[in-house]
Amino acid sequence: MICIDASARMMELTRRRLQREGLASNRINFIQADVLQLGEQSWVDGPFDLVVTHFFLDCFRRDQLEKLLPVIAQRATSNATWLIADFRVPERGFARTRAQIILRLAYAFFRVVTRLPAATLTAPDTMLQKAGFQLEQRLISQAGLLHSDVWTKK
């Protein structure tokens, strides 16, 4: 199992939490790296039968996702599962307005605090489909603000 993060601090917090929960962090290869450089790194060649990106894809601009998603998809096995949990904007009504306000505030905060490259949310669905994945299940919660997906590679 591989966990990639640009932040050494976040990886250390993850290790500590795993230890607190009694889980073996020594079974995870923690790699501090810029995920946008995956195409240049041999240590993440895979193949992987599971990809998990929870509240991760929303951190990138469209142009970055268009480069990143195919690189990850190339390393996935032919029947791989990709689990995603992330934000979304509902199509209409108060839920849409609510989500837009929450996301505008969140992006402004994280752009200042973490230098987040994205300023708006980019839905990855069409890029995942283009990379050979098919949406199997989507659970929407928090008045449409969140979605949890199961995608499988065709």
* 3-class DSSP state of 18: helix
CA distance 50 to 45: 13
What per-residue confidence (pLDDT) applies to 39? 65
Stronger pLDDT, 126 or 6, i.e. the higher one: 126
- Residue 94 in this model has a pLDDT that exceeds 70: yes
Burial class (CB in 10 A: 0-12, 13-18, 19+), 68: buried
Confidence of residue 44 (pLDDT cuts 50, 70, 90): low
- The pTM of the full predicted model, rounded to 2 decimals, is 0.88
Percent of the chain's residues with pLDDT above 70? 95
- Residue 43 in this model has a pLDDT that exceeds 70: no
Centre a 10 Å sphere on the Cβ of residue 48 and count the other Cβ atoms it contains.
18
Give the domains, in start order, of the chain with CATH numbers.
47-153 (3.40.50.150)
What per-residue confidence (pLDDT) applies to 1? 83
Q: Are 39 and 69 contacting, i.e. CB atoms less than 8 angstroms apart?
A: no
Query: For the segment 59-83, what is each residue's pLDDT rounded down to a tens digit?
Result: 999 999 999 999 899 989 999 999 9
CA angle (150 as vertex; 149, 151 as ends), nearest 5: 115
What per-residue confidence (pLDDT) applies to 153? 97
Query: For the segment 121-148, what is each residue's pLDDT rounded down to a tens digit?
Result: 999 999 999 999 999 999 999 999 999 9
